[in-house]
Chain A
């Protein structure tokens, strides 16, 4: 984004909506803000339409606030609850079809490399667990195997929430959900491990219960994707609506699962990525 690109034409200041004026005057572009600055700047996500207590909405807010360079970031989403929030995200973002997000991102990233050879453009995929681990797994893994310079972020609410709470590959075994009327018959997919063996240079499993850890993982994943290779971040984001949780308990549910040994934070870093991160993080 060129400096001064986002501005209001003279004479239109008073008729532009307040939230847009705030974005122009106090948005995060080129400011290098992080989650520690939340509350002091205009966030990228404007009045999301997701449910009360939605873990995914919280994860998305934290993720967007952790982007190292929002002014140069293009997001590719997919069908699902998060897609309902994306029209309100103040970044160029694409919704194509259900499951093809990593294939679309491949085209976007390579096109932007051609058009802006001297500029970093971060292409970040943000999609749900159904889109990432089920219908889109082929294209997600192929993008890793091809070593595309993109970051894949899964907002894992352990179900197809937008279509009414069906079992996904990321649901826990035994869980009774729509289309799993007698309980899920197979384990939760180990996508972080699959990502690691598929060549992702940085992999993390995090949750909004530990916002700083989430922010660090997102930032690391995007920096590594820029310079080294594909990266993956899985964010546990419980769904109060379909799992019949009290909306105010979303974060405590994550903590309980962690205590019970049913959710672990993870981080895999390739040697090359670690060496790169050392240089970047030392500078800071």
Chain B
């Protein structure tokens, strides 16, 4: 293990000298976690996530992570993660697809308990019928769990977003979990150029006493303290407490926008924003769309690209403003249900502008030609 120095997050993210490496998405997770000053990581195997947590195990063995274990299933792992977080440590885990579904009951409790957990989701199809192939459908289910959701386009995003996620999650006025999503296989199992940070630098550690809720360690008052207090008694005060608590979690997510803008630069990236046709998407579909748009513009077709980096909080105002100028909006997605097209329709003034296509799933890839076909069809 290399001796690491704690540095200011802004220095680490924006000023530290980076080294270009040709690595997989899973290896990018290792590189990020190595510099994230993580106390504990809890693992459970599922394709296509497993390799990332193997590699986190390797850096635990080297001493970069203080505690590591393999849990017994994803529900248990996410529960252990909750326990570790409530007891005041920085904790990391990763899952994907059916693992996400197995753990599902726990995710809203992470948000409800104001836990700054960071979890990587390596998305994959879920079983209807069995598939291990790429698909982002699990994100549709996670939209209303209260966790923040960042969607990586590539291994570089995955690396950077993971590190930034800890800093956003742990802000006192945010303090809710962050999921960093990467399209399984396409990002995890392919090699790409990733600019990594110096090995001898790491983020500041987590101070649990900056949390907006008491740490479960019997070292802070009040001691008559249940995490989290029941607000289920049948009286108006209980209902009002529960309602305001949920609203406070929504408000915490809203407050994260300023930090996400600080670290990510913006919630969306836009190329050729004055085009008649905008392709708006997230994850690896952004890369395919960029290819399609290059070809389209070469052929004289006016098309622009909007890359959404944060699914929660959703950049509604930004998209609404862009959509008002566009004639048509194409939303390519790696899932059957088209959750992103629905999200976009929800925030813009003229939902009929949205073409929810192309849509591939069940493991299919998305050749840029499919997106190009849509651009040609609607222009």
Contact = CB atoms under 8 A, between A and B. Distances in A.
Interface of A: 1-2, 5-6, 20, 23, 29, 46, 71-74, 76, 83-84, 86-97, 100, 103-116, 121, 138-139, 142, 146
A244 B87 CA distance: 40
A112 B217 CA distance: 7
B80 A104 contact: yes
Contacts of B87: 74, 107-109, 111-112, 115
B91 interface: yes
Contacts of B106: 96-97, 100
A107 B219 contact: no
A188 B85 CA distance: 36
Nearest to B39: A114
Nearest to B110: A96
Contact of B88 (A46, A88, A94, A115): A115
B42 A107 contact: yes
A87 B91 CA distance: 26
Contacts of A6: 221, 223
Nearest to B231: A87
Nearest to A106: B80
Given A100-B79, A115-B217, 8 more contacts: A5-B221, A86-B226, A93-B227, A107-B42, A107-B83, A111-B88, A121-B218, A142-B71
B275 interface: no
A2 B219 contact: yes
Nearest to A74: B216
B229 A110 contact: no
A73 B224 contact: no
Contact of A83 (B42, B214, B216, B230): B230
Interface string B58-86: 00000000110101110111011111111
Given A71-B218, A73-B218, A96 B79 contact: yes
Interface string B94-131: 00000000000110010001000000000000000000
A111 B218 contact: no
26 contacts: A23-B224, A71-B218, A74-B217, A83-B230, A89-B224, A90-B223, A90-B224, A91-B224, A92-B216, A92-B223, A92-B225, A94-B227, A95-B226, A96-B106, A97-B105, A97-B109, A100-B75, A104-B79, A107-B87, A110-B40, A111-B89, A111-B91, A115-B208, A115-B217, A142-B71, A142-B76
Interface residues of B, number: 44
Interface string B117-156: 0000000000000000000000000000000000000000
A100 B79 CA distance: 6
Interface string B215-245: 0111111011111111000000000000000
A24 B76 CA distance: 37
Given A87-B230, A91-B223, A96 B83 contact: yes
Contact of B83 (A5, A89, A103): A103
A84 B230 contact: yes
Contacts of B220: 5
A1 B218 contact: yes
The residue in A93, A104, A105, A121 that gathers the most chain B C-beta atoms within 10 A of its C-beta is A104
Interface in B23-63: 39-40, 42
A126 B52 CA distance: 35
B227 A1 contact: no
A131 to B, nearest CB: 13
